[in-house]
Structure 1
Amino acid sequence: MRIADRYELTEPVGSGGMGQVWAGYDERLDRPVAVKFLKPGLAVEADRQDVVERFRREARITARLDHPGVPTVHDAGVVGNDLYIVMQLVPGTLFADLIAENGPLPVPWVAAIGAQICSVLAAAHAASLVHRDLKPTNLILGPTGLVKVLDFGVAAVLDSDLPKLTGTTDTIGTPTYMAPEQALGSSSVGPRADLYALGCVLYELLVGEPPYLADNALGMLHQHLEAPVPHVADSRDGVPSELDKLIFALLAKDPQNRPESAAIVYRHLLQWATVDLPELGKTPPEHSAADPTSPHRFPFGPLPRDTVARARPAAASTAPMSIPSLEDVHGVRDQALALADEERFGQAADALQTVLRLAAPFYGPGSPEILEARLDYAGMLMLAGDFRTALLTFEQLVADLTVRYGPKHEAVRECRLQVATCQAELGDATEALRTLRDLLRDSPDAAGFPLRTQIAVITAGVGQIDEALRQLDALLDDMRSMFGLDPADIVEVENLQEHLRHLADEN
């Protein structure tokens, strides 16, 4: 399915507070996206104009919340009778799955997770936004350890417009994590309702189950209103007493008895996180979390391998996927080539990555068919501009192709050349030159001419223009002395030499 003449919807990945969510691709910008639709039937059950206005308000509210722990809103609009928001597609594991698969988590993990959530809440509350539905299915843990808070679409502005946005009889939230004042339908639900929900989430991460259990929603709301506040320490050993007191305070029935702000909770949680977390509001972007010193790297190492392997888009289906046949692998390769013809390189790379993740463990990463698909994948990554991932992929291909075909095979040489290209694109000219010179030593004379040209280009690129010109002089002498060489190749090098001479004169 395709909407707005640019968004291709690929599969439903779950439902949120107001509707269904699909994974898809923005064909125009070649990037994966999540598209959230208004829940079917809602526009019939309420005055359509009010629903449209509420939806647009939510889109604007979410779009202005600029924080690395919140999915970015890209677009919003109307298609037919449906309203939609286009957002960043977030890979990772939902907290609900994390708890179900791993049980209670280590205290430092929980503290680091909680601090990241507090960073998001502090930014939202400063912008007069309340999430109002914080829960494990609205929290996702990325493969690098970065926590993202999903579905701010049910947030409301903390002003006189609140009754207009939510309706006087409409209670937003989930009973298991709902603050008492929210359960009562109070119109004064504020930031401390989010802190109560945070207390419920932290309790569940430490104990393995929510603070209150009941057979139905009404019974659950009664528990939040009347049941004694539980202590984490009563259900789990080894929890610091001060952390137990903090969660107990977060779960206070009276909002005034809870901590004053998410910023205060953030600072308290830091003492139990055995990693250095950033200053509030300065959480680094997700890509920086690959650094072992990153504040989002958990103190006991990365997530368990089986958890990372199951990382998927938020709220994705957990249905098992069958092992693709080799014909399926060929079909995906053909699909990727067709996407590349439309310059949708990122989508092509994602398609190849998905089939390889399923097929490579079964057929072996070094089988000929899988190696061909891996070469396609690495090439698509380069075309998409993801040189860092492409570099790692080509480096592994060099090793695996060498084992299968030997070090002098053309595919090995090509991958080594692409390693150098990626290094140069990433700004590591020293490593690129080293890689090219090593490859040059293993290449015949004619095959070495393009390598020598590339070495000269990179040498000039680091400011050594005179040295590059000397390299080109020697290269042209060798090329002119070789019988049968295409004259166009010589002209190309001569043109490069002339260009570098102009640069040298200008300097």
Structure 2
Amino acid sequence: MQGEDAMRPGDVLFERFRIGACLKTGGMARVWLAEDLHSGETVAVKALGRDYWSSPYDVDERVIRSEAFKRFERERDLLDKFAGPGIPRLLDYGFFRGGPCVVMELISGKNLRDFLSLHQPPPMVAAAAIGVQILEILDRIHKGGVVHRDLKPQNVVLADNGSVHIIDFGIALPTDPQATRYTRHGHTPGSTGYMAPEIIRGVKNPTPAADLYGFGCMLYEFVTAKQVFSELRDRSIEDQHRSDPPPRLDPARHPVGADLADLTWRLLQKEAAGRPSLADGLEVLRRYLPRLGDPAPSPRLHPDPTLPFREGRESPPVPAAPAPVQRQRPSVRRRQMPSRREFGDLLDAAEREVLAQQPGMHTERVVARLREVEAAWGPRERLVVRAQLVRADRARLEGDWPGAGRLYRTVERTPLEAKDVDLLLESRLGVAECLVPEKDDTEAAFTLWKAVVIELRGLPRSPLKVYGRCREFAAELAEWGHRDEVETMLSSLGAARPPEVR
């Protein structure tokens, strides 16, 4: 039902995280507090909004839902990619009641909007400490080939220990121009008041300079306690960011030198090419940092962003020296090989669960052991390929169409032996089944299904599982406008020799 939450307080996610209060609602997702039942720690759970994920939809809304999910999946991947200082750790990911969710480290502290509401403006040493940490995190993100696109005070968290964290990678974008853009038609990604002019104009491939513009807006606010532009009767904030000259900080009225005033002004230039580099920003801001052993700002701040600099930040770990060469060959404990018979029995039980469309304990155990058996027997081993298909089937039944499609394609690209043609056909059927909800492409789905049927006709006996899946999917294809062609293909399939049990 539209508007209904799939997640509620008291629910237990992945048999480990007990859901508590809703922390934040906005955009396309909700963020919940949760208790980690293993460690006792409080974590954050971000779930795609129910309105996006399970409401009735027409073709256009189906595309919106698909893009919303893909942005959500990309955010999961980026959290995993940038794991480290200044970005919350990704703890788990999966589906709950048909909707995707991620479990992240909860940063205890205040977001920058709340911090600035208490300290308007903050002392210059505190502003510099926040700015330097933001730029250091952005440097890592940009070098990793990503633009955040939504840098604003609400997406920066100041932890209790004074460290800065950038959150919410929901609309982050790879700088690779070939990367898919998951942006709704007519919707400009970003937040009013911090959006770079080129994004407002609709540029498809913003550079890291777009994040530096957002940072410049925040830096101006740190110093003046005012946003760069405010709503006017005849001009919106977006219009002013797109076209109006940026304001200049005045060293006579603000606690900044000419260098910082000039940096802020250059960060706010309309054209991306006219903005300074990230390294230039760090060079200027570091001149305003507190020194080791300096007293705390007065009045005291909580959280205090100067603390890491006054007490000394942790240095990067020094690489360990190479271990001396062992002259005597060490004893090695031989790793016990998994039992093929035992894993085969487990697979049979998991496949029965999938056939009943109820992936359960056996399916989870197969997926949990997949890496172990693949390492032992190799990716082309039949038991391993069957396990890969179980994992893909689970994702499909949970509604993770893009993830399932990717897993089926992995099997399809595996060079299998001739005797495993049934597994190849099964993977192709899976790809076809995912094409409709993932890309709304019934024509491609029918073409791929037809190719599988033709190959089935050429086999001495049709594999039972593939034969059944072909007929089930045929009913859906018939409803999507391919009835006559589907009936013709099915009649030819029925003339083939009876299917055999795998």
Relative to the length of structure 2, the TM-score reads 0.53
Change (3 A) 1:165 1:93: same
Change (3 A) 1:232 1:127: same
Does residue 270 in structure 1 map to residue 286 in structure 2? yes
Structure 2 contact 71–170 (Cα < 8 Å) conserved: no
Partner amino acid for 2:291? V
CA distance in 2, matches of 1:99, 1:236: 19
CA distance in 1, matches of 2:89, 2:211: 21
The equivalent of 1:181 in structure 2 is 198
Does residue 207 in structure 1 map to residue 221 in structure 2? no
The equivalent of 2:17 in structure 1 is 7
Matches within 5 A, 1:9-48: 9-15=19-25, 17-43=27-53, 44=55, 45-47=61-63, 48=65
Partner amino acid for 1:166? T
Give CA deviations for 1:176-219 in whole Å, capped at 9, x if unaligned.
10100011111021210100000000111110011111159970
Higher relative contact order by CA 8 Å / sep ≥ 6: 1 or 2?
1
Change (3 A) 1:303 1:94: farther
2:86 counterpart (39, 60, 69): 69
SS in 1 for 2:42: strand
TM-aligned CA deviation for residue 100 of structure 1? 1.2
Change (3 A) 1:235 1:163: farther
TM-aligned CA deviation for residue 31 of structure 1? 2.2
Partner amino acid for 2:296? G
Partner amino acid for 1:87? M
Q: Where do 5+ consecutive residues of structure 2 fail to align? A: 1-9, 56-60, 305-502
Change (3 A) 1:300 1:152: farther
The equivalent of 2:397 in structure 1 is none
Partner amino acid for 1:232? L
1:225 counterpart (225, 235, 242): 242
TM-aligned CA deviation for residue 16 of structure 1? 5.1
Structure 1 contact 116–147 (Cα < 8 Å) conserved: yes
1:301 counterpart (296, 302, 320): 296
1:85 counterpart (102, 109, 112): 102
Partner amino acid for 1:208? A
Partner amino acid for 2:52? L
2:153 counterpart (124, 136, 150): 136
Give CA deviations for 1:375-413 in whole Å, capped at 9, x if unaligned.
xxxxxxxxxxxxxxxxxxxxxxxxxxxxxxxxxxxxxxx
SS in 1 for 2:33: strand
TM-aligned CA deviation for residue 257 of structure 1? 0.3
Change (3 A) 1:5 1:24: same
CA distance in 2, matches of 1:34, 1:165: 24
SS in 2 for 1:12: strand
1:159 counterpart (163, 170, 176): 176
Does residue 51 in structure 1 map to residue 68 in structure 2? yes
Structure 1 contact 154–172 (Cα < 8 Å) conserved: yes
Partner amino acid for 1:11? A
Partner amino acid for 2:290? T
Give CA deviations for 1:345-397 in whole Å, capped at 9, x if unaligned.
xxxxxxxxxxxxxxxxxxxxxxxxxxxxxxxxxxxxxxxxxxxxxxxxxxxxx
Give CA deviations for 1:73-131 in whole Å, capped at 9, x if unaligned.
11111112322111110111121111111111121211111010000000000111111
Superposed CA RMSD in Å reads 2.5
The count of aligned residue pairs is: 287
TM-aligned CA deviation for residue 54 of structure 1? 3.0
Larger helix proportion of the pair:
1
TM-aligned CA deviation for residue 264 of structure 1? 3.0
Change (3 A) 1:142 1:304: farther
Change (3 A) 1:6 1:303: farther
Change (3 A) 1:80 1:160: farther
Change (3 A) 1:94 1:82: same
SS in 2 for 1:232: coil
Matches within 5 A, 1:81-160: 81-160=98-177
